[in-house]
Amino acid sequence: MNHAEQIAEATREIFSSMIMLEVTAKEATKRTDPAFSNSISGMVGLAGTVRGNLSIHLPATVATAVTTAFLGMEVESIDDDVCDAIGELANMLAGAVKTAIDPSGSDIKLSMPSTVYGDTYSLDCLDCGISVQVPFDLDGTEFSVELQLAEN
């Protein structure tokens, strides 16, 4: 299974089972624009036999809708609850992808999740061998999950 398929499968499973939302994967791409507008990104670093990160990028309106479904409470703007929820979502996705890459669970370690958000911000891509971004459709809105990896 390739990385785009791993991301798509993990994302569909986590959204379906943990958030009770159905998402549809679109064709994988490589992110070329480092800038995000009115969005939030949750990130988890990977270290060990590979290094890199897994990120989920959501427009603010999608992030609040996902957090509302995830926590079962109404959320209208990006706040600490949204940051925590998106960080935890990134952590679950990174764990699932790590398991697919490293079935033994001993060769790759994950960092604590972190989030960044704002009206405008940029995230530079790692200079690495693998960079794949999978866009997803959620009720006519879009978000993406990105994996960047380099072998050590």
Total domains, the chain: 1
pLDDT above 80 for 1: no
- Residue 94 is predicted with a pLDDT of 96
Residue 127 pLDDT level (bands cut at 50, 70, 90): low
- Residue 143 is predicted with a pLDDT of 97
Domain range holding 107? 3-151
- Residue 50 is predicted with a pLDDT of 85
Predicted confidence (pLDDT) per residue in 56-70, tens digit: 999 999 999 999 999
DSSP per position, the chain: --HHHHHHHHHHHHIIIII----EE---B-----EEEEEEEEEEEEEESEEEEEEEEEEHHHHHHHHHHHHTS---S--HHHHHHHHHHHHHHHHHHHHHH-TTSSSEEEPPPEEEEEEEEE-PPPS-SEEEEEEEEETTEEEEEEEEEEE-
Predicted confidence (pLDDT) per residue in 4-58, tens digit: 999 999 999 999 999 999 999 999 988 777 789 999 999 999 999 888 999 999 9
What torsion, rounded to 10 degrees, do the Cα atoms 84, 38, 10, 30 define?
-140
pLDDT above 90 for 123: no
Give me 129's structure tokens: 């061998």
Residue 103 pLDDT level (bands cut at 50, 70, 90): confident
pTM above 0.85, yes or no: yes
- Residue 12 is predicted with a pLDDT of 97
CA distance 92 to 35: 24
Predicted confidence (pLDDT) per residue in 71-87, tens digit: 999 999 999 999 999 99
Q: How far is CA 83 from the centre of its chain?
A: 13
Mean pLDDT score across all residues of the chain: 92
What CATH number is associated with residue 133? 3.40.1550.10
Backbone phi and psi for residue 74, each to the nearest 5 degrees, phi listed first: -70, 130
